[in-house]
Amino acid sequence: MVLATPAHSGLGDSLSYWSPELLQEGALVRVPLGTRELLGIVWRVRLQPPDGLVAGSLRPVLEAFAALPPLSANWRALLEFAARYYQRALGEVALAALPPQLRELDASALQRRLKKLEGVAFAGAGEGEAPSWAAPMPDLSPEQAAVLAALEQGTQPVLLFGATGSGKTEVYLRAAQTLLQRDPQAQALVLVPEINLTPQLEARFCERFGAHTVASLHSGLTPAQRLRHWLAAHSGQARIVLGTRMAIFASLPRLRLIVVDEEHDPSYKSQDGARYSARDLAVYRAQLESRTARCQVILGSATPALESWHAAEQGRYQRLHMPGRIAGAVLPRLRLLDLNQQPKQCLIAPPLLAALAERAARGEQSLVLLNRRGYAPVLACHACGWKSDCPHCSAHAVFHKIDRSLRCHHCGHASRVPRACPECGNLDIAPVGRGTEQVEEHLGELLAEARRPDGGPVRVARLDADSTRAKGSLHQRLSQMHEGEVDVLVGTQMVAKGHDFRRITLVAGLNVDSGLFSSDYRAPERLFALLLQAAGRAGRDAAFVAAQQAAVELWVQTWYPQHPLFAALARHDYPAFAAQQLRERASAQMPPFSFQALLRAEARSQATAQAWLQAAHAAAQAAGLPGLAQLTLYPPLPLTVQRVAGVERAQMLLESPSRPALQAFLNAWQPLLHALRRQPAGRGLLRWAIDVDPVSL
C-alpha cells in the first residue's frame, strides 16, 4: 500500500495492510495510519503476509473504492520512475498526482460524484452536447501536410521545430483527429507551459472535437472541477486532456498521443515538492505506454531547449521542420537601437517612440516587452543609501505605484510606501529602475498627442501578473487586443507565449542586456527564446499586413548591438545559435554534456544550512558511495536570493559526465541524508531536498 507518509517519519515508501477480499493492484482504498484515515493506493497484492508478519498483526483496509477502475500498471510505473529519478518518496509523488478532493471522500461520496459525471460537458459547452466532427478545418500548408505524413510513420519522439506562426497547433489538432478517427476510445494529452494559454487552446479543441471530449487539468480549477475532470480522464470519458505540467500525471488508461507545446519553457520543471520535468516525463511516459500500444510524443517549439535539440542531433529524437509561416506571412525584421547613440536616461528611444506612434496612426498594434513587473524594482534614498528591502527576504520590495505599495515578489510581504526615508527622514525618496507599470505610464504620456485612425487618443494597456490578478481580467485584456481596442500593449514574458494577435506589426524589447552577461549559463538561451517568441506575435495575419503595407519588425534596445546573439536573431537562425551554444557547453562540460543535481538546505541561519551540507558531503566521502569517483561535489553556497520569508537557503552542486553514476550516488546518499537529518548536525535544519536536472542554479 502506498501512502503519503509524513516527511522524515522513518516510514518506508509502502506499508502493509490486510483485506478480507482480494483487491486489484492500482485500486484506491481508505486505510488507518495512527489515529487518522488516509487515502492509499494498492501497489502490490500478496496472498501471504510479508516475512515476519502474520495476518492478525496487520491493520485492515477500511474500505475500497470499488466503483472506480484501478490505476493502470503503466501509470504506476510512471510514478515509480518519477519518484526514483527525482529522489522523492513514492507515496508523496503518487498521492500528489491525485486530485486533492479525492483524498477527502469515502466510497459512497465518490459513487455520487461518478453518477453526476454522466452527461457533463467539461470545457463549457451545453449539457448533453455530442462531440462535433464537422467543424470547418483550414487547408493544410505543404509543410504541415509533410509533417503529418511523417508523424504517421514515425516511431521516435518527435521534435517539431516550427517557426512562430507556422501552424503547429493545427498539426496537434490534426494528429489528435487522426488518432480518434482510427481509435474512438484513444486518448490524447496536450501540455502547455502556463494556465493563461489553456483557455484559447481549449476553445480550439472544443470547436474541433466538441466539449464532451475535452477536459482540462491545472491549478486554476476549483477542487470540485479538478476532481470532475480527473475522473473524466480516468474513466475514459474525456478523450483529450489539456493541462499544465501537473497533467503529465493524469490517469489516462488509453493514452496514445502526448503533445508538449512550447517544450522549451522552464515552467515545465517543477520548483516545489517533487522537482520533476513534465517534458522529460512525457517522453518516458510515451515509451511506457508503447509497451502495450503505440503512443506518440510530440515536442513542439520555435526555440527548442538545447537538451532536446542535442537529442535530435544525436538521432534520439526525430526532428521535423516547419520554417514557413501560414499563408505566406513574413517573419519580423530585427532593428537594433544602440543606446550608446540615444539620449541619456531615456526609457523609450525617440526612433522607437516615433515608430509606435506611426503604427497606432495606421490602425496597427505594437507590443512592448519588459520582463519586470511593478513600477520600479526598488525605492531608494540617495541621502543615506536606504533601500526598500523586504524585512523577510534578501531582496528588494518592488514599488507598485498604482496602490502605493511595496511588495516582495518572493514572500508576498506588502507595506505602504513611506512618506519619508525611514532612516534619515529625507522626503526625497525615488524609484530606481523600471517596471511595466512605469513603461505603461510613460508611454501614455509620450503618446498623448498621437492619434488613432478614428482621431481618438492612442490606448496603452498592460498585461502582467498584477494586471491579470482579478478573475476574468486576463480574458478581458486579451479580448481588447483581439478587437483592436488596445494600440500598445506593455507586458512581461507572459505576452510572448502562444498568443495569436492578428494586428501586431511591431514588437519592442526593453532592458534585454541582463541576459547577455548573466552568471547563469542558461541566460542566453532563455533570452534568445524570449525575443524570438515575442517577435513571433508580430505579422501573423498576412492579409492584414499586406493591406496595411506594413513593415513587420522587432526592435531591441541594447548597449551591445554587436553581440553575436543578435546576429543569429536577425536571421531567425535558431540552428546557428544552438550550434554555438552547444559548442560552448561542450567545452565547459555543461548540460547536456554533463548531468547535475542540487542538494538544497533551509534553516534559520545560513551557517546551519551550510554546515549540514558540509556534513552531507563528508558523510558521502566517508561512506565511499557508488558513483563518487565520477562525481564532482562543489562547496556549499547561498542561493542568489539566500533568504526568503525568514528562511536561509543554501545549496551544493553535484555534477557528473554519467547520468547512471549520478543516479547511483543519489540513491545511495538518500538514507545517509535522512539519518543525518536526525543527528546533531541536523539540529536547526528546517528542510532539505534534492533537485535533479535543475534549470536554475
- From the annotation, which residues make up the binding site for Zn(2+)? 381, 384, 390, 393, 408, 411, 421, 424
DSSP 160: E
DSSP 586: H
Q: Terminus-to-terminus CA distance in the chain, angstroms?
A: 36
How many other C-beta atoms can be found within 10 angstroms of the C-beta atom of residue 354? 12
Instruction: List, as residue ranges, the binding site.
Output: 381, 384, 390, 393, 408, 411, 421, 424
Longest CA pairwise span in the chain (Å)? 86
| One-letter amino acid of 216 | S
Tell whether the torsion through CA atoms of 18, 21, 24 and 28 is positive or negative: negative
656's enclosing H/E stretch is strand 647-656
Dihedral angle of Cα 470, 99, 122, 218, to the nearest 10 degrees: 40
The residues, any chain, with a CB within 8 Å of residue 675's CB and separated by 6 or more, are: none
Q: Give the span between the Cα atoms of 515 and 403, in whole angstroms.
A: 30
Cell representation of residue 624 = 565511499
The verdict on whether omega for the bond into residue 592 sits within 30 degrees of 0, i.e. cis, is yes
Of 566, 563, 545, whose CA–CA distance to 554 is shortest? 566
Task: Quickly tell me which residue has 529522489 as its cell.
Answer: 87
Of 209, 225, 164, whose CA–CA distance to 569 is shortest? 164
Tell whether the torsion through CA atoms of 78, 80, 86 and 89 is positive or negative: positive
3-state SS of 366-399 is EEEECCCCCCECEEEECCCCCECECCCCCCECEE
The residues, any chain, with a CB within 8 Å of residue 307's CB and separated by 6 or more, are: 591, 592
- List the beta bridge partners of residue 602: 649, 687
Inter-helix orientation angle 574-588/523-535, to 10°: 170
Task: Quickly tell me which residue has 499563408 as its cell.
Answer: 327
Distance of CA 269 to the CA centre of its chain: 6
Q: Give the span between the Cα atoms of 41 and 129, in whole angstroms.
A: 34
Write phi, then psi, for 609 (nearest 5 degrees): -60, -45
Task: Quickly tell me which residue has 522552464 as its cell.
Answer: 266
How many other C-beta atoms can be found within 10 angstroms of the C-beta atom of residue 635? 10
DSSP string, 69-104: PPPPHHHHHHHHHHHHHTT--HHHHHHHTS-GGGGG
Q: How many CA atoms lie within 13 A of 241 on its CB side?
A: 34
Q: Give the span between the Cα atoms of 642 and 639, in whole angstroms.
A: 5
DSSP 432: E
Of 468, 514, 512, 513, whose CA–CA distance to 489 is shortest? 468
Cβ(220)–Cβ(195) below 8 Å = yes
338's enclosing H/E stretch is strand 333-338
Task: Quickly tell me which residue has 519588459 as its cell.
Answer: 370
Of 540, 535, 470, 549, whose CA–CA distance to 506 is shortest? 535
